[in-house]
């Protein structure tokens, strides 16, 4: 993985705003609004550890833009969480919600901690303290958190319970990514991978690629990557020729059954060593001869060093930020269709929105309804982005940002500045 410590993610996020603002002629005043978070909260709170001692932890919640509705975004627990990282992620969530046209702004939260070094009891106490500290600025009408790095449905259940205790009644709509028994949505777990598979299918139609028999390489066979692989294999008839995880990758020219690979990974802890497949590196997975490449692992994987070695016709970003800007330009020149993260992995936030909508009305949908609504949203969003890309003769990432930022700008202008 490239060294990201020298890159300030929030500076990158602001540069992206400038590029789009120049392209579509946004005035300086509105441009400045787009480059500043609306509200940011830093909290320092004590947590009682298992040995009876107290430790003080620092947490953040940034609400980037509320012009299109309440804010939405995950909470991550990680030793390297910084305020600038949280600001950048909140900005990207703003654009992601606007790309798929759901009525949210973007937010993000984080706590500086090492989840691997704290017990379950300490994690619960930390989560409840953090939730009570940010409680004044979250809520179903204001800001709806969700899981992110090293947080899960159990974390969300603790936050929902803490917020509900403060209110004196149950408020399932304060959070998404909850267990189904507490008002979670069917289909939420596989939404990111499923949404990614839908946009791959639509892009394939546009470039004349038949998905039946098309070859696919997946870097990062975790939640998003494995689900995308299963759906491409089961529903679209694609051939999965290469997959990898953090320990390495496998390649088999005539394809593997992704369900069997998943079973092997559950038994052994890795995809490596899958019977009949050749062991390859994560870098080799990216450069595999395949029609479709799904980077579903870490950021900064496709750089100017390897962009000219990518053999895929479609690169679908199930991960956040796997392609660096200089690589985008090379891929665009080589006529590779890149489906950017703000579009390709927006299935997760889309079904989070469905979960919130179900909680608010206290009426729940079946899996088929969730998936068909997700499909409609992803197909429409892909078509919207493709139209802008074709009209403005730009690559899909710029097109997605143009579409998203224009939608936010329209909302800011129509609402006006109060007072």
**Residue 107 β-bridge partners:** 63
Q: State the pairing for strand pair 292-295/314-316.
A: parallel
Residue with tokens 């059954």: 257
Is CATH 1.10.150.570 correct for 37-182?
no
Model pLDDT, residue 1: 42
Q: Which of 275, 279, 283, 228 is nearest to 249 (CA)?
A: 279
Q: Which helix (H) or strand (E) holds 269?
A: none
Q: Which of 142, 144, 175 is nearest to 158 (CA)?
A: 175
pLDDT at 312: 97
Q: Please, is 181 exposed, middle or buried when counting C-beta atoms within 10 Å of its C-beta (0-12, 13-18, 19+)?
A: exposed
CA distance 215 to 365: 34
Going by their DSSP bridges, the two strands 215-219 and 292-295 should be labelled as: parallel
What is the residue-level pLDDT of the chain in tens, covering all 419 positions? 444 456 788 988 998 899 999 999 999 999 999 999 999 999 999 999 999 999 999 999 999 999 999 999 999 999 999 999 999 999 999 999 999 999 999 999 999 999 999 999 999 999 999 999 999 999 999 999 999 989 999 999 999 999 999 999 999 999 999 999 999 999 999 999 999 999 999 999 999 999 999 999 999 998 899 999 999 999 999 999 999 998 999 999 999 999 999 999 999 999 999 999 999 999 999 999 999 999 998 888 999 999 999 999 999 999 988 998 889 999 999 999 999 999 999 999 999 999 999 999 999 999 999 999 999 999 999 999 999 999 999 999 999 999 999 999 999 999 999 99
User: What token pair was written down for 45?
Assistant: 């709170």
Give strand pairing partners of 42.
60
d(C-alpha 320, C-alpha 189), whole Å:
17
Task: Look at phi and psi of residue 310 and say left if phi exceeds 0, alpha if psi is from -120 to 50, else beta.
Answer: beta
Phi first, then psi: give them for residue 243, nearest 5 degrees. -140, 160
Q: Which residue has the tokens 């936030």?
A: 349
Torsion angle (degrees, nearest 10) of CA 348, 92, 102, 294:
-40
Reduced to 3 DSSP states, what percent helix, strand and coil does the chain have, rounded to the nearest 5?
A: 50, 20, 35
pLDDT of residue 276: 94
Query: Contact 386/206 with Cβ under 8 angstroms?
Result: yes
Catalytically annotated residues: 108
Q: What are phi and psi of 145, to 5 degrees?
A: -70, 175
Q: Which residues of 80-97 are buried (b: 16+ CB within 10 A; e: fewer)?
A: ebbbebbbbbbbbbbbbb
What is the Cα–Cα distance from 162 to 182, expressed in whole angstroms?
A: 13
Task: Count helices and strands (H / E) in the chain.
Answer: 14, 12
Which residues make beta-bridge pairs with 138?
none
**82 bridge partner residues:** none
161 to each of 154, 173, 315, 419, how far by Cα in Å? 11, 11, 40, 36
- CATH number of 191-344, picked from 3.40.1350.10, 3.40.50.300, 3.40.50.720, 3.40.50.920: 3.40.50.720
The whole-angstrom distance between residue 166's C-alpha and the CA centroid of its chain comes to 30
Domain range annotation of the chain: 37-182, 191-344
SS3 label, residue 402: helix
Q: Which DSSP symbol is given to 366?
A: -
pTM: 0.93
In this structure, are residues 103 and 111 in contact, taking their beta carbons and an 8 Å threshold? no
């Amino acid at each position: 993985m490239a060294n990201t410590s020298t890159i300030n993610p929030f500076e990158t996020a602001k540069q992206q705003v400038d590029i789009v603002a120049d392209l579509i002629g946004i005035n300086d005043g509105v441009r400045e609004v787009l480059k500043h978070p609306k509200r940011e909260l830093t909290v320092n709170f004590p947590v009682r550890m298992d040995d009876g001692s107290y430790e003080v932890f620092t947490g953040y919640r940034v609400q980037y833009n509320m012009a299109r509705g309440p804010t939405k975004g995950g909470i991550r627990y990680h030793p390297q969480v910084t305020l600038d990282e949280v600001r950048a992620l909140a900005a990207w969530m703003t654009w992601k919600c606007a790309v798929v046209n759901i009525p949210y702004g973007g937010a993000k939260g984080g706590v500086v901690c090492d989840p691997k070094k704290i017990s379950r009891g300490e994690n619960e106490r930390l989560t409840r303290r953090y939730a009570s500290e940010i409680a004044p600025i979250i809520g179903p009408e204001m800001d709806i958190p969700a899981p992110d790095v090293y947080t899960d449905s159990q974390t969300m259940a603790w936050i929902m319970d803490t917020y509900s205790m403060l209110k004196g009644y149950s408020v399932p709509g304060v959070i998404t990514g909850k267990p189904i028994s507490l008002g979670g949505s069917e289909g939420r777990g596989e939404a990111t991978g499923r949404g990614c598979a839908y946009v791959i299918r639509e892009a394939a139609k546009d470039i004349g690629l038949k998905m039946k028999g098309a070859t696919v390489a997946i870097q990062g066979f975790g939640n998003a990557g494995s689900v995308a692989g299963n759906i491409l294999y089961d529903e679209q008839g694609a051939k999965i020729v290469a997959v990898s995880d953090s320990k390495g990758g496998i390649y088999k020219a005539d394809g593997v059954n992704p369900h069997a690979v998943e079973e092997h990974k559950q038994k052994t802890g890795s995809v490596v060593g899958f019977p009949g497949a050749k062991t390859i590196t994560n870098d080799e997975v990216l450069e595999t001869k395949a029609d479709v490449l799904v980077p579903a692992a870490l950021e900064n994987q496709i750089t100017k060093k390897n962009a000219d070695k990518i053999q895929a016709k479609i690169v679908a970003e199930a991960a956040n930020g796997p392609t660096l800007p200089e690589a985008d330009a090379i891929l665009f020149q080589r006529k590779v269709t890149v489906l950017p993260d703000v579009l390709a992995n927006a299935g997760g936030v889309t079904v989070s929105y469905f979960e919130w909508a179900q909680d608010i009305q206290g009426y729940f949908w079946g899996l088929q309804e969730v998936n068909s609504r997700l499909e409609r949203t992803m197909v429409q969003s892909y078509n919207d982005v493709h139209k802008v890309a074709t009209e403005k003769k730009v690559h899909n990432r710029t097109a997605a940002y143009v579409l998203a930022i224009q939608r936010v700008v329209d909302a800011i202008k129509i609402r006006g500045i109060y007072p």
